[in-house]
Amino acid sequence: MKITFIAADGTVTPVEVTAGESIMRAAVQNDVDGVIGECGGSMMCATCHCYVDDAWTDAVGPQEDGESDLLDCAASEVRASSRLSCQIKMRPELDGVVIHLPESQL
């Protein structure tokens, strides 16, 4: 299945992933600039902050418990569509999801 990352400067990077993979890991493994994932997905860093594209927010779903506390520490502006990408696992209904990346993670 596919994820399309759109960086703050407009760079578009399509990535192929398997089900169960987190969006953070897909970005890191494919050298997508704009996602760091410092804590490896254990919800301790907020360097995997992303914005879910408006067309995909319903499919992706709301923040998990604890995400908004951590997003308070995010380097870039937090919006309604903000999520920690390590907490979004790929599943069939997310095939083709579009993820926007913040300007900075640090």
Q: How many residues bind ligand FES (CB under 6 A)?
A: 13
Is 44 an interacting residue with respect to ligand FES (CB under 6 A)? yes
Is 75 an interacting residue with respect to ligand FES (CB under 6 A)? no
Is 27 an interacting residue with respect to ligand FES (CB under 6 A)? no
User: Whole-number minimum distance, CB 88 to ligand FES, in Å?
Assistant: 10
Q: Which of 21, 14, 65 is nearest to 41 (CA)?
A: 21
Answer left, alpha or beta for residue 45, where phi above 0 means left and psi between -120 and 50 means alpha. Answer: alpha
Amino acid present at 7: A
Pairing of strands 97-100, 2-6: parallel
Distance CA 67, CA 71 (A): 6
Q: Which range of residues in 4-12, 13-21, 36-44, 93-101 is near ligand FES by CB under 6 A?
A: 36-44
Looking at the Cβ atoms of 10 and 85, the one nearer to ligand FES is 85
Length of the chain: 106
Which residues bind to ligand FES, rule: CB under 6 A? 24, 37-39, 41, 43-48, 84, 86
